[in-house]
Amino acid sequence: MIETHCLCGTVALKITAEPLAQVYCHCSDCQISQAAAYVLNSVYPADAVQITSGEPIAMTVNGTPRLRCPACATPLFTEVASAGLRSLNAYLLPEGTFTPQMHLHCADAVLPVIDALPHYARLPLSFGGSDELVDW
Ligand SMILES: [Zn+2]
Ligand SMILES: [Zn+2]
């Protein structure tokens, strides 16, 4: 079990399961909504990411609610309701607990990130994608 909170402490979260996946996401929604080249996501069953204090606000991008602290705007998690998942901002995890397995949506990447992980153009088969890779 992990307890964490936004930068200002208004919203606290409790994580009660191991992540189903940990990924770097390069999709344009993540880039624009978080003003980042790519983001770090730790994905859990929705009921394993619980809000223990505060009331996040949902900013909906292309139909997907992205929850933030109403006071400091720290991104908290994305509600992937169709899959019953919550995708946590992995910067909220304790140091050493983010061990990414892959890069997603590399077709949108603004800069290649060269490492030994698989670089999917969109999504792997196991996430409902095509498994297509980019060549960087
Ligand atoms: Zn906050
Ligand atoms: Zn994304």
Output the domain CATH number for residue 76: 3.90.1590.10
**Cα–Cα dist 5/20, whole Å:** 21
If you measure from the C-alpha of residue 132 to the centroid of ligand 1, how many angstroms do you get, rounded to a whole number?
38
Could you give the number of structural domains in the chain?
1
* 136 in any annotated domain: no
If you measure from the C-alpha of residue 3 to the centroid of ligand 2, how many angstroms do you get, rounded to a whole number?
24
Tens-level pLDDT at each residue, the chain (136 residues):
999 999 999 999 999 999 999 999 999 999 999 999 999 999 999 999 999 999 999 999 999 999 999 999 999 999 999 999 999 999 999 999 999 999 999 999 999 999 999 999 999 999 999 999 999 8
Ligand located closest to 13 CA: 1
* 53 in any annotated domain: yes
Q: What is the pLDDT of residue 84?
A: 96
* 133 in any annotated domain: no
Q: What is the pLDDT of residue 52?
A: 98
If you measure from the C-alpha of residue 104 to the centroid of ligand 1, how many angstroms do you get, rounded to a whole number?
27
* 132 in any annotated domain: no
Of residues 56, 24, 52, 48, the one with CA closest to residue 38: 24
Alpha-helix residue ranges (DSSP H) falling in 17-104: 28-34
Judge whether 71 and 5 are in contact, CB under 8 Å.
no
Ligand located closest to 92 CA: 1
* 118 in any annotated domain: yes
**Cα–Cα dist 106/111, whole Å:** 9
Q: For the CA atoms of the chain, what is the radius of gyration?
A: 15
Q: What is the pLDDT of residue 136?
A: 86
**Cα–Cα dist 136/132, whole Å:** 12
If you measure from the C-alpha of residue 82 to the centroid of ligand 1, how many angstroms do you get, rounded to a whole number?
27
* 134 in any annotated domain: no
Question: For residue 103, what are the domain limits?
Answer: 2-127
Judge whether 119 and 133 are in contact, CB under 8 Å.
yes
* 135 in any annotated domain: no
**Cα–Cα dist 4/119, whole Å:** 29
Q: What is the pLDDT of residue 22?
A: 98
If you measure from the C-alpha of residue 71 to the centroid of ligand 1, how many angstroms do you get, rounded to a whole number?
5
